Amino acid sequence: MTQKQIVKTSKFLSLVLRHRPEVIGINLEAHGWVDVNELIDKSNANGREMNFELLQAIVKNNNKKRFAFNEDLTKIRASQGHSVEIELGYLPCNPPNILYHGTATRFIDSILKNGLIKGNRHHVHLSKDKETASNVGRRHGKLVILEVDAKSMHEKGCHFYVSENSVWLTENVPSEYLKEV
């Protein structure tokens, strides 16, 4: 199994477990889970090489721990980042006082006017450290990091969730809680 194969399959898993399960004819169950055997069979039937060892390697080595198995390794899901309507079952929790969001300079005017909005995804994604936020932001262009006053938002009753792979999630971030770093 090569690193190239792992990365390619990981991208394919992002597609089917977060956005378009229908491309291989699967449905996401409650909380986003998919039966591992069904995923393997239907991927192969659709011309995508898939086997349990490959899934294990991806769950274990993926740099962001994007995917997780259930306890008995019979189901797999993406831990966050979905666009399909799915309830992941995370419970609201206390955020750190400050969270970070990395984005591109070209979005800044709109963000400072309208706040952070979730777009196609379920939530706005935030990070607990600037380094992670930088990596997210750089994907979009020239980096800018925003500081989110999560403490004040939480005090005002906004809900925060943290995914299994430590991404902080919230519905939206009004601009008054944002500051450029």
Residue ranges binding ligand HQG (CB under 6 A): 64, 66, 81, 103-104, 107, 110-111, 114, 116-117, 119, 121, 125, 136, 140, 167
> Measured from the CB of residue 45, what is the shortest distance to ligand HQG in angstroms?
26
Residue type, 33: W
Looking at the Cβ atoms of 7 and 45, the one nearer to ligand HQG is 7
Say if strands 160-162 and 124-126 run parallel, antiparallel, or are unpaired: unpaired
Looking at the Cβ atoms of 11 and 47, the one nearer to ligand HQG is 11
> Measured from the CB of residue 97, what is the shortest distance to ligand HQG in angstroms?
20
- Tokens representing 83 are 């666009």
Q: Which residues lie below 8 Å from residue 54, measured CB to CB, with a gap of 6+?
A: 1, 5, 6, 9
Beta strands per DSSP E along 22-110: 34-35, 67-69, 75-78, 98-104
Looking at the Cβ atoms of 43 and 80, the one nearer to ligand HQG is 80
> Measured from the CB of residue 163, what is the shortest distance to ligand HQG in angstroms?
8
